[in-house]
Amino acid sequence: MRNRLATETSPYLRQHAENPVDWYPWCEEAFRRARDEDKPVLLSVGYATCHWCHVMAHESFEHPRIAGLMNERFISIKVDRQERPDLDDVYQKVPQMMGHGGGWPLTVFLTPQGEPFFGGTYFPPDDRHGRPGLERVLLSVSEAWTHRRQELRDAIEQFQQGFRQLDDADLSREALEVEDLPAQTALALARNTDPTHGGLGGAPKFPNASAYDLVLRIYQRTGEPALLEALERTLDCMAAGGIHDQLGGGFARYSVDERWAVPHFEKMLYDNGQLVTLYADAYRLTGKQAWRRVFEGTIAYILRDMTHPEGSFYAAEDADSEGKEGRFYVWTPAEVKAILGESEGALACRAYGVTDGGNFAPGRSVLHRAVTLPPLEEARLEGWRERLLAARAQRVRPGRDDNILTGWNGLMIQGLCAAYQATGNPGHLAAARRAASFIEDKLTMPDGGVYRHWKDGTVKVPGFLEDYAFLANALIDLYESCFDRRYLDRAAELVALILDKFWEDGLYFTSHDAEQLVHRPRAPYDSAWPSGISASLFSFLRLHELTGQDHYRDLAEQEFQRYGAAATAAPAGFVHLLAARDFAQRGALGIILAGDKAAAAPLVKSVHRTYLPARVLAFAEDVPVGQGRHPVDGRPAAYVCRHRTCTAPVTSGRALLDRCVA
């Protein structure tokens, strides 16, 4: 018999519709029943493509005895962290405050008032690998709820105090004077980059797109060779690794080893959007064709496999297919040779590291660039790749999370705009515009705000700060790509709504009229994607340069001051905020074009193809700061401005770039 989750739109919740657990979605009805029956709440948070969420569901939520215990003694609530990142942010802090790491699946026990008193992440069904079994945890929590309620009240107060202390820790430190903190942080990231394989840390290893975006920005400003070395090593090694889908394009969530060879196979839209931007920007700076192939291939994957028929982008693809992690992606030598033939197959196996021993499971390998073949064979590798890709397409695909998330679509639109500006490929711009149109048509609230997500025509959760901020920046990028003023006007409207909905003595993750939780999060730290606060600061600073309205800059400065001490103490958690700080400190380069937009194409192209991370670009007729800017002798002209002071206009692309880099 199906439970209540069968009528939900979330793919993750519907995955649990056949569980024998009496699940509720997050709703007042569940908490009312918990109050009426005086039962604790078991809150389980995950997402549709989460491998360990699938494992816990199979081991425990499908287990009749464990499900029966949950139904008898608890009110069980299932939450999709992609729909409700506010709930995830608040309750992830529970295991973290207990001294454990966060992650998914998240398992937290609450009072009927939503107050947490115990939590963890993945629990196996019985004790194993140093983890307590879920059955034992359920019995222990139930016993404490029945007989030791005061001890739980003490734990509740400790968690509430912990929430307050976390906020105070971010806001009350005394700032240390560090000269050029963005540059110092970038240099520290370079020093900590794996000298052999690139990337930060050991296994598991994550792409950390925001960190290397900061490295790239600071290299462009300083020319410090160590920064470029760290960036090149990381981008090259990721591109050659199994984390990068060598056949279909796109990147997996992370690598389980330090060499990028074996990924955890789920693919997330937010990773791929950010990595398209990073590789496109690095290509603009260096002209390295290998990096262009990477971001072009990633876009091809998104447009082929992750795009809704009306143009928006799906959230994620699963790691599992046919019940096994990675089955879709791994190969045996025999499978490769059956498609390419013995001779060509042997060469392809050598190039892609497919061996009899395997690197993922016995005899099964994740494709990665193990060696470079002789030039003749290397030239033929693209044809072999296409044949292997066509054969792989006949396999059972991993499950897809077809939620449309506003913020994550914003990150992908930004990637497409960076790729368009880097290459001039009109398909990239067209894809970005279609996605923006989808959001405008399907995800806009009556007051002009945005919903968090769309699924099969249903919207129900208002957007969070990151949704507004990512979309606002994406629309500014779209304007700077095609100069359709509607995008710039809409971005300004979204920023006004950020200030109306999310600003109360600084920025919060949830709007002032959102559901009240046990804690209102600010969420200033970057995670796998930038924080909504740091992205908002970028939108403030960019609009300040385009409109001349100083209150945008002043609000950004307030937030820089608010988090300056925290960023100094833990800069790795604030890399995108430090990128915004660098944008502000170096003085944004304002490039104002005057004249016919079509005739100005050569000027636009010269700017688009050049990596200028601290610039804004607009036509004079579209922005207040364009007043008084005119063509020269009937020819389109460019004015290069910094700190409200502009140089004499130029009419050639070469002269324009000379002014920009002077």
Residue 401 lies in a domain: no
Mean pLDDT of the chain: 95
One domain for residues 162 and 209? no
What is the mean pLDDT of the segment spanning 554-564?
95
Overall number of domains in the chain: 4
Q: Is residue 17 part of a domain?
A: yes
Given the DSSP bridges, would you call strands 24-25 and 75-80 parallel, antiparallel or unpaired? parallel
User: In terms of domains, do 166 and 189 share one?
Assistant: no
Report pLDDT for 614: 95
**pLDDT at res. 339:** 98
Q: Is residue 166 predicted with pLDDT exceeding 90? A: no
Q: Are residues 151 and 75 in the same domain?
A: yes
Residue 64 to residues 46, 121, 122, 287: CA-CA distances in angstroms? Answer: 21, 21, 18, 59
Query: Is 483 part of a structural domain of the chain?
Result: no
Whole-number pLDDT of residue 643: 84
Over the stretch 588-642, which tens digit does the pLDDT of each residue have?
999 999 999 999 999 999 999 999 999 999 999 999 999 999 999 999 999 999 8
34 and 128, same domain (yes or no): yes
The residue-averaged pLDDT of 180-191 equals 97
Cβ 43 vs Cβ 108: under 8 Å:
yes
pLDDT tens digits along 327-352: 999 999 999 999 999 999 999 999 99
Q: pLDDT (tens digit, 9 = 90+) per residue, 395-428?
A: 999 999 999 999 999 999 999 999 999 999 999 9
Distance CA 537, CA 533 (A): 6
Residues 341-388 pLDDT 10s: 999 999 999 999 999 999 999 999 999 999 999 999 999 999 999 999
Q: In this structure, are 41 and 145 located in the same domain?
A: yes
Per-residue model confidence (pLDDT) at position 175: 57
CATH of the domain at 89: 3.40.30.10
**Is residue 35 domain-shared with residue 82, that is, in the same domain?**
yes
Q: Is residue 461 part of a domain?
A: no
576 within 8 A of 541, measured Cβ to Cβ: no
* Residue 160 in domain: yes
Are residues 260 and 339 located together in one domain of the fold?
A: no
Of 248, 264, 280, the residue that ends a domain is 264
- Shared domain check, 146 and 84: yes
pLDDT of residue 211: 98
Cα angle 653, 658, 661; round to 5: 120
- 213 in any annotated domain: yes
Same domain membership, residue 157 and residue 117? yes
In a domain, 131, yes or no: yes
pLDDT of residue 173: 55
Question: Residue 36's domain spans which residues?
Answer: 4-171
In a shared domain, residues 78 and 214: no
Q: What is the pLDDT at residue 60?
A: 96
C-alpha dihedral sign at 322, 324, 329, 334:
negative
| Nearby residues of 613 by Cβ (< 8 Å), 6 or more positions away | 216, 217, 220, 281, 579, 582, 583
Q: Indicate if the pLDDT at residue 661 is higher than 60.
A: yes
pLDDT digits (tens, 9 = 90+) for 487-528: 999 999 999 999 999 999 999 999 999 999 999 999 999 999
**Phi-psi region at 524: left, alpha or beta (left = phi > 0; alpha = psi -120 to 50):** alpha
Query: In the predicted model, is pLDDT for residue 86 greater than 90?
Result: yes
Q: Is residue 66 domain-resident?
A: yes
pLDDT tens profile 546-556:
999 999 999 99
Task: Verify that 83 and 61 share a domain, yes or no.
Answer: yes
